[in-house]
Structure 1
Amino acid sequence: MENKNTTQHRIKAVDLFCGVGGLTHGLTKGGIEVVTGVDVDLACRFPFEANNSAKFVEHDVAYLESGTVEQWFGNSELRLLTGCAPCQPFSTYSRSGRNTQYDMQWPLVLSFGRLIRDIQPELIAMENVPQLVDHPVFQDFLDSLQGYAKWWSIVDCSAFGVPQTRKRLVLLASKIGSHNLKLLPTEVDNSTVRKTIGDLPPILAGESHPEDSLHVAPSLSKLNLQRIRASKPGGTWRDWPSHLLADCHKKSSGATYPSVYGRMEWDKAAPTITTQCFGYGNGRFGHPEQDRALSLREAAMLQTFPREYAFIPRGGEIKFNKIGKLIGNAVPVRLGEVIAHRLISHVQSYICN
């Protein structure tokens, strides 16, 4: 019987649509070696390579050749192909104007399937938005998994130690067998906003902390500053005096969006961290106590990135939209770590037998 350390080092992974490295970092923490990350967004190169030992390759997965990926795996005995294809076609932020621009991204899920059929890796992991299961492209993807044992489910990431109510589709597949493929909730207490960001130094809206340029929150208008001061953790804009209400709140349609302009609660999980999480009016992204929205560092930590994770070079320019997008689109590091533990346990159960 081989020990666990021997098993985990035999697994090598290629991370498609790797982004800034959330999944890669989690897999690495969990004991799986990631050799290459692939993404079409060049802005991901610095954070991916600065925080991980894997190589970043700028490439469109739609045109990625299977032979190239096989070369990255080398002579690895256990190959894990993993990734999260862009999910904008299903995002509530993009539905109103997505049309052909975002529809063109749906085939990226099929590109993942094409590489699986060609390469036949021993292990597969996919993370994506829950809405994917209702689209025909998901069944097409499942069809590419002929010969694999597979498990998939829509999971709440808070059940695995991620301090946010983030629901995601997770799929694991294996050519080895079906034992131990199912993700199980962790036994540790679920993290909260307080446990995750409570010890960060206070800052004001529009201020950056001198020792961490990513711990920066956007400025607020005079009106929004009044609004957040009138907001209570877990409350809504309905708690405000009438003179602070926006015109949309006074319409019947506005009543269906109670979570905008909200504060988070210290001792609960945060809401889903989105690409617009730095904006006070974009959701319940107000700090539980300070009169400001989340800082970019706080958003990253709620995505379970380590506090020291670098997203831009030292002295680089902070662009909220750009960095917010990278953070919000990332796979939570903790979820990647849980996936790694499960796959190692899965492989180990067959090696031990």
Structure 2
Amino acid sequence: MSARPEVVDLFCGVGALSHGLKLAGCRILAGYDTDERCKHAFETNNGGEFVKRDVGKMSAYEIMGRYSGDAPSVLAGCAPCQPFSTYKQRYAEDPQWGLVRKFAELAAEVQPDFVTMENVPSLLRYKDGSVFRMFKDILNEAGYPLRVTVAKCELFGVPQKRRRLVVVAARGRKIGPLIPAENVGRTVREAIGHLPPIEAGAKHANDPLHTSSSLSDLNMRRMKAAKPGGTWRDWPEDLRADCHRRASGKTYPGVYARMMWDEPAPTMTTQCFGFGNGRFGHPEQDRAISLREAALLQSFPEGYEFVPTNEKPSMKEVGRWIGNAVPVELGRAIGNTILVGL
């Protein structure tokens, strides 16, 4: 068999996990997702075919037909993680957790050589652990022992403090641990310090993705008062938001804050382009981080295309894609682990 594994990626989004696997040496065959707007990014950067499809309605035969049979096969995926987040569980049940079961069932039917899933660590505890136990039992019964890791992304070349659940399984092969990167502990400065300065609400002429959100007069005053690594508690009293004056708001110091140059970034979210949504202020310039900076902090390569060159990127849409993405370098580490298992 060829030493270059073939990958089908479910819930592929803009292709971050696929890109990491590609960088490790895998061949990307196809990605499936319900968001057709991800097609350009997935295909342009990864070479595989994007298929608009609800994974919950897919059959194993659709996936089986993708593999050549002449190379090791990999089924990869990251089911939507919002229902497993601590925040989400406070409010309502979410039927999307059933997609984790669907992924396991598809893997058991397809019987690829390797299976990998990435998600939030709280999936291990969701519904008292019953959802993950179900996932594990389905794969175990199909002949896949699981190696489960709660990965610290900064150990794998991602300039960001982020914890992710990584599952890698194989039939008839021993799977080793994820291999840490040589460039452990990359910082915000290393990731984005070389980018040219821009102002709030502006974009760079040579890179439409290097664009930042505008700031109101009040938020600009707050930004100027913010210190790298500090909180809104550093501000003069007249700049503090009403919610921070209440007892319930005093437990959220990590909003309206700047990053620190010589530390990894905080976790990128779907709102990472907004100063008021977290510690997403630039360490030095008076603005929130740009979309390009957010992408680099998620370890996307600098040339990664999210939209066609003649299209203006939407802050909300591209920000959501970036925040939801698997850090590319974590994907590469998963790919390296698979290659070692060949």
TM-score normalised by L of structure 1: 0.92
Q: Match for residue 40 of structure 1?
A: 34
Tell me by how many angstroms 1:190 deviates. 1.9
Q: Match for residue 181 of structure 2?
A: 186
Superposition map of 1:172-321 within 5 A: 172-178=168-174, 180-321=175-316
Tell me by how many angstroms 1:320 deviates. 1.2
Structure 2 counterpart SS, 1:73? coil
Question: Over residues 93-148 of structure 1, what are the superposed CA-to-partner deviations in whole Å (9 max), with x where a residue is unaligned?
Answer: 64565x35xx1211111110110111111111110011101122111110111222
User: Are positions 1:84 and 2:78 aligned together?
Assistant: yes
Which deviates the most, 186-195 or 86-95?
86-95
- AA in 1 matched with 2:260: E
CA contact 1:172–1:181 (8 Å) conserved in 2: no
- AA in 2 matched with 1:125: T
Q: Match for residue 337 of structure 2?
A: 342
- AA in 2 matched with 1:208: K
User: Are positions 1:151 and 2:147 aligned together?
Assistant: yes
CA contact 1:150–1:181 (8 Å) conserved in 2: no
- AA in 2 matched with 1:28: K
Q: Match for residue 132 of structure 2?
A: 138
User: Are positions 1:127 and 2:121 aligned together?
Assistant: no
Tell me by how many angstroms 1:314 deviates. 1.4
Tell me by how many angstroms 1:86 deviates. 0.5
- AA in 2 matched with 1:302: L
Q: Match for residue 61 of structure 2?
A: 67
Structure 2 counterpart SS, 1:299? helix
Gaps of 5+ in 2: none
CA RMSD of aligned residues (A): 1.4
CA contact 1:173–1:181 (8 Å) conserved in 2: no
Shift >6 Å, 4+ stretches: none
Question: Over residues 236-293 of structure 1, what are the superposed CA-to-partner deviations in whole Å (9 max), with x where a residue is unaligned?
Answer: 0011011100111111111110111110000100000000000001000000000000
Q: Work out the CA distance in 1 between the residues paired with 2:107 and 2:15.
A: 21
Q: Work out the CA distance in 2 between the residues paired with 1:317 and 1:54.
A: 24
Which deviates the most, 310-319 or 202-211?
310-319
- AA in 2 matched with 1:129: V
CA contact 1:116–1:144 (8 Å) conserved in 2: no
1:113 to 104, 118, 121: 104
Q: Match for residue 351 of structure 1?
A: none
Q: Work out the CA distance in 2 between the residues paired with 1:47 and 1:301.
A: 15
Q: Work out the CA distance in 1 between the residues paired with 2:48 and 2:314.
A: 26
Tell me by how many angstroms 1:176 deviates. 2.4
TM-score normalised by L of structure 2: 0.95
- AA in 2 matched with 1:46: H
Q: Match for residue 164 of structure 2?
A: 168
Structure 1 counterpart SS, 2:266? coil
Question: Over residues 189-219 of structure 1, what are the superposed CA-to-partner deviations in whole Å (9 max), with x where a residue is unaligned?
Answer: 3211000000101000000111111110010
Structure 2 counterpart SS, 1:313? coil
Structure 2 counterpart SS, 1:80? strand
Question: Over residues 164-206 of structure 1, what are the superposed CA-to-partner deviations in whole Å (9 max), with x where a residue is unaligned?
Answer: 001000011011222x421132233321100000010100000
- Using the aligned pairs only, state the percent identity: 50
Gaps of 5+ in 1: 348-353
Q: Work out the CA distance in 1 between the residues paired with 2:211 and 2:102.
A: 37
CA contact 1:161–1:188 (8 Å) conserved in 2: yes
User: Are positions 1:23 and 2:17 aligned together?
Assistant: yes
- AA in 2 matched with 1:307: E
Q: Work out the CA distance in 2 between the residues paired with 1:96 and 1:189.
A: 35
- AA in 1 matched with 2:150: I
- Aligned residue pair count: 337
Q: Match for residue 49 of structure 1?
A: 43
